[in-house]
Amino acid sequence: MDKKHIAIDLGAESGRVIVGDVGSIEVVHRFPNQPVKVGKSLFWDVLSLFEEIKKGLRQAFARYNRPGEIASVGVDTW
């Protein structure tokens, strides 16, 4: 059994939670990244992104739940 690795990718327009190993990857959750306006500026909605990341992690761990199957979690932001 190959160890699975979770990648959280946050881009300007969307985010996703991906599970992969040496031979394959699977997007387990995809979600929009919709900015919020504060005054005259736009900001990432950090609380919404955090909730979506937790939702994706729950889905990943539900799908790959054997002990020791998931070896790491990494985050990449744009």
Q: Residue 17, SS3?
A: strand
User: In the predicted model, what is the mean pLDDT of the chain?
Assistant: 95
Task: Sort 56 into a burial class: Cβ within 10 Å, 0-12 / 13-18 / 19+.
Answer: buried
- 10-42 pLDDT, tens per residue? 999 999 999 999 999 999 999 999 999 999 999
Task: Sort 8 into a burial class: Cβ within 10 Å, 0-12 / 13-18 / 19+.
Answer: buried
Q: What is the pLDDT of residue 62?
A: 95
Q: What is the pLDDT of residue 61?
A: 95
